[in-house]
Amino acid sequence: MRLRASSGDPVGQELDALIIPLIRSDGLPPALRNLDAGLGGAITRSLKWGDFVGKRNELAILLGGDHAAKRIILIGLGDPKQVAEQTLRAAAATAVREAARRKSQHAGLVVPTLRRIPAQNAGQALAEGALLGSYRFDKYRTTEDNPVALASLDLFTRDASHARALRQGIGIGTITAESENLARDLSNEPGSVHTPNWLGQRARELGREFGLGVRVLGPRELEAHKMGGLLAVGRGSANPPRLIVLEHGAPPKAPARRGRKATGRSPRRRPTIALVGKGITFDTGGVSLKPSASMQDMKHDMSGGAAVLGCMRAIALLKLPLHVVGIIPAAENKQGADAYLPGDVIETASGKTIEVINTDAEGRVVLSDAIHYATRYEPDAIVDLATLTGACVVALGSAAAGVMGNDDALIERVRAAGERAQERVWPLPLWDEHRDQIKSHIADIKNTGGREAGTLTAAAFLSHFVGEIPWAHLDIAGTAWTGRDRALCVKGATGFGVRLLVELLRNWR
Ligand code: BES
Ligand code: MN
Ligand code: ZN
């Protein structure tokens, strides 16, 4: 879909649909009076007769007159005091989907003037909503009962001074949403397609297309790095594991000093952020096999990795002035001839040893090596995303991901970024009690801590590998995919984390 900002008059344009977002109020906003007149008073009448009151996400369809679009789609924004970016995002998604359902090709949207939302934010939210709401994963369908997405959407604003900011917001929103849709695409592929090797290939392609540094470590290099955790989990599968590393904005290698005295202050270096995403391309549970009900969803167990790939694409396109390293431990957790076993003791790259209690707690095992690898960059922060525990789904459902870590300020920034991006995360505690719960009698730690506080003991496990570096862990088990269609996302992978990370990194210090 092509998105454009336009300062023209939406009336008299050749449009298949014109979307008009309206807050709940007693009448027509003055800014829409001309438009309404151009439509023969159609909006005023539907408000007067109560056909449309402007409740949040309420839809009404009017047929356009001779000089207007073929159809007018009114979409409600609800209570004016509560309208926020989130409202615009969801409204755009709902309305664009309605337009597509009615076989529209070219649509327009009248950008509402809202005092509390700067034009740039409005443009970003509307673009994100339109693109996320139109997302489909239909490459495996041979029947065409899905509506096709719009070819173009013009965002109309009469206020020329706003057009620039609006355009800027559309640019950011387009990059972010398309990157999130990329993460959805990766995660929605069947497990037998998105293998560790396949993910590595996609990373290489992203590197070439968007100018990211990419390195993919295969089994031999993983041996050399002594990544016993990632290797152990991958051993049960014919598709060997990979460690995928992407890099944006790497600082130039310091030139060798030729005997000259150092000039004192070194130039301020860019902040380095490490993003680590769990990349279990399918999780059968391994020898501690999962029950078959819903096992098909475990193809999404690489959604943290997919979000990191999507985010790397976005920050490359946004040219953020940061050094960002994306790290994805990719492996398939299966029960092949050489699969790792409960009772095994694994030596990780950090040197710490793990007693395996349950092979289904594989995420933390592969993350141990990936997080340790991240610390070698001495980053200012590590943020990891993982579909780590079913317990997190029980605790928070699909309304929010859990966030834990060792740095309250970082956790708060992650929380706030998620709130703004409409990808909610909610803080959960991480205490010494949880670290005690995973002490092992035979190794340094064990990979499960029993039934109690499963999400927190998983985080406690990861904390062993971050050292002193500020770290936030997002358990996205409940948010990485959805079992039903929602405003911003159809059933399947959500791409959760891309918008949150982009929002976090765009505002980094
Ligand atoms: N990938 C799963 C967690 C998961 C479960 C995500 C359901 C989304 C929905 C993870 O690898 C896992 O199996 N965790 C176990 C840990 C347990 C064995 C300690 C779990 O949550 O049951
Ligand atoms: Mn598992
Ligand atoms: Zn898993």
Q: What is the pLDDT of residue 356?
A: 98
Lowest mean pLDDT among 74-88, 90-104, 254-268, 492-506: 254-268
3-state secondary structure of 337: coil
267 — pLDDT class (breaks 50, 70, 90): low
Closest ligand by atom to 356 CA: 1
User: Measured in angstroms, how far is the CA atom of residue 477 from the centroid of ligand 3?
Assistant: 9
Nearest alpha carbon to residue 169 among 130, 122, 109, 132: 122
Q: What is the overall mean pLDDT for the chain?
A: 95
Strand stretches in 341-443, DSSP E: 345-347, 353-355, 381-386, 401-405, 425-427
The active-site residue out of 204, 290, 420, 506 is: 290
Residue of the nearest CA to atom 17 in ligand 1?
361
The whole-number average pLDDT for the span 285-291 is 98
Residue 392 alpha carbon, nearest atom of ligand 1: 21
The burial of 438, by beta-carbon neighbours within 10 Å (0-12 exposed, 13-18 middle, 19 or more buried), is given as: buried
User: Measured in angstroms, how far is the CA atom of residue 387 from the centroid of ligand 1?
Assistant: 7
DSSP assignment letter at 504 = H
Lowest mean pLDDT among 63-72, 224-233, 301-310, 484-493: 63-72
User: Measured in angstroms, how far is the CA atom of residue 53 from the centroid of ligand 2?
Assistant: 48
The whole-number average pLDDT for the span 105-129 is 95
Q: What is the pLDDT of residues 376-408, one digit of tens each?
A: 999 999 999 999 999 999 999 999 999 999 999
- In sequence order, the 6+-apart residues with CB closer than 8 A to the CB of 184 are 135, 137, 306, 489, 492, 493, 494, 495
Strand stretches in 89-207, DSSP E: 106-110, 152-156
364 is catalytic: yes
Q: Is 295 in the pocket of ligand 1 (CB under 6 A)?
A: no
Residue 290 alpha carbon, nearest atom of ligand 1: 13
> At residue 261, does pLDDT exceed 60?
no
Q: Where are the alpha helices (DSSP H) in 218-324?
A: 219-224, 228-234, 303-318
257 — pLDDT class (breaks 50, 70, 90): low
The active-site residue out of 97, 334, 364, 415 is: 364
Q: What CATH architecture does domain 178-253+264-506 belong to?
A: 3-Layer(aba) Sandwich (3.40)
Q: What is the pLDDT of residue 12?
A: 82
Residue of the nearest CA to atom 8 in ligand 1?
477
The whole-number average pLDDT for the span 467-477 is 98
290 is catalytic: yes
CATH topology assigned to domain 2-158: Leucine Aminopeptidase, subunit E; domain 1 (3.40.220)
Only one residue has tokens 């995403």, namely: 277
Residue of the nearest CA to atom 3 in ligand 1?
389
Residue 454 alpha carbon, nearest atom of ligand 1: 19
Q: What is the pLDDT of residue 255?
A: 67
Q: What is the pLDDT of residue 11?
A: 85
The residue ranges of every structural domain in the chain are 2-158, 178-253+264-506
